[in-house]
């Protein structure tokens, strides 16, 4: 697997305001040494290893800890279901007190294959009033979901501040109307549909400890 810091060319795609730069993942063969030897997932082409995820999450936790050094209350808001695995790892790398853990579920309606901003909050909004809120999302694809959630919270949740942490982002997929940039980013990836580490394909593969690309049926072994 080739993971390197963003080149100058691609940097404008992914400015990280508070953190060290997100790592860019090239579309090449990854190091599979930390992956299960079972062939259960032979139709998944690994993209980011468990070890790389773990190292990156630790670094993000340090960044977040540094950024929120003087907070009165950091409210982590994890977006279900995709961000659950990432959140569980990330919060254990945040060395602050107090930190509360909150969840929210979004649902899209309208176009099924791509989010288009038609997003709704499911269930009750947690109490985030006067708290520094860190939205934790699995992936920023078009950016519609994250932009919607941030706007919604600004309007209805009365937080002290709102920042965003995403495990993955696909800069090439960004909706041109979305100007929001994540404050903390794990990896910047090419335009491929990925699964694992919380991300699913039709509710499958969330439990993979690494991130991979679903191979088309003809390419599976
Ligand atoms: P958005 O296009 O940024 O609004 O992304 C909406 C949601 O689509 C994300 O939070 C994910 O749940 C899902 N999604 C986008 N890209 C992928 C992918 O590559 N794999 C799995 N889920 C994805
Ligand atoms: Mg999601």
Domain residue spans of the chain: 3-219
Q: How far is the CA of 71 from the centre of ligand 1 (A)?
A: 30
Q: What is the pLDDT of residue 25?
A: 85
In this predicted structure, what is the pLDDT of residue 208? 97
Query: 148 near 119, Cβ under 8 Å?
Result: yes
**Per-residue model confidence (pLDDT) at position 113:** 52
Q: For 162, what's the count of Cα atoms within 13 Å in the CB-facing half-sphere? A: 22
Q: Please tell me the number of Cα atoms within 13 Å of 2 on its side-chain side.
A: 6
The architecture of the domain spanning 3-219 is 3-Layer(aba) Sandwich (3.40)
Cis? peptide before 103, omega within 30° of 0: no
Task: State in Å: Cα 194 to ligand 1 middle.
Answer: 9
Position 132 scores a pLDDT of 98
pLDDT computed for residue 18 by the predictor: 46
In angstroms, the CA 201 to CA 138 distance is: 13
The predicted pLDDT at position 40 comes to 60
Asked about 141 being catalytic, the answer comes back as: yes
Atom of ligand 1 nearest to the CA of 114: 2
82 lines ligand 1 (CB under 6 A): yes
Residue of 139, 146, 190 to test ligand 1 pocket, by largest number of atoms within 8 Å of CB: 139
Residue nearest to atom 5 of ligand 1 (CA): 141
Please list the ranges in the chain whose pLDDT falls under 70.
1-21, 27-40, 109-117, 218-221
Active-site entry in 89, 132, 138, 141: 141
- Pick left, alpha or beta for residue 68 (phi over 0 → left; psi -120 to 50 → alpha; otherwise beta): alpha
- With beta carbons less than 8 A apart as the criterion, state whether 132 and 101 touch: no
């Amino acid at each position: 697997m080739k993971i390197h810091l963003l080149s100058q060319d691609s940097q404008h795609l992914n400015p990280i305001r508070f953190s060290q730069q997100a790592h860019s993942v090239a579309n090449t063969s990854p190091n599979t040494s930390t992956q299960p030897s079972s062939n259960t997932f032979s139709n998944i082409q690994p993209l980011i290893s468990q070890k790389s995820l773990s190292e990156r999450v630790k670094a993000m936790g340090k960044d977040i800890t540094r950024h929120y050094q003087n907070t009165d209350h950091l409210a982590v808001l994890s977006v279900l279901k995709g961000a659950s695995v990432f959140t569980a790892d990330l919060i254990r790398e945040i060395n602050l007190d107090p930190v509360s853990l909150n969840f929210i579920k979004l649902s899209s309606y309208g176009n099924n294959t791509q989010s288009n901003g038609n997003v709704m909050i499911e269930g009750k909004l947690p109490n985030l009033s006067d708290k520094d809120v860190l939205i934790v999302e699995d992936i920023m694809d078009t950016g519609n979901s994250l932009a919607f959630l941030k706007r919604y919270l600004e309007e209805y949740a009365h937080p002290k501040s709102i920042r965003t942490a995403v495990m993955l982002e696909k800069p090439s997929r960004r909706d041109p109307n979305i100007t929001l940039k994540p404050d903390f980013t794990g990896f910047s990836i090419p335009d491929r549909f990925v699964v694992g580490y919380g991300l699913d394909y039709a509710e499958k593969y969330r439990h993979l400890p690494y991130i991979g690309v679903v191979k088309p049926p003809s390419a599976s072994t």
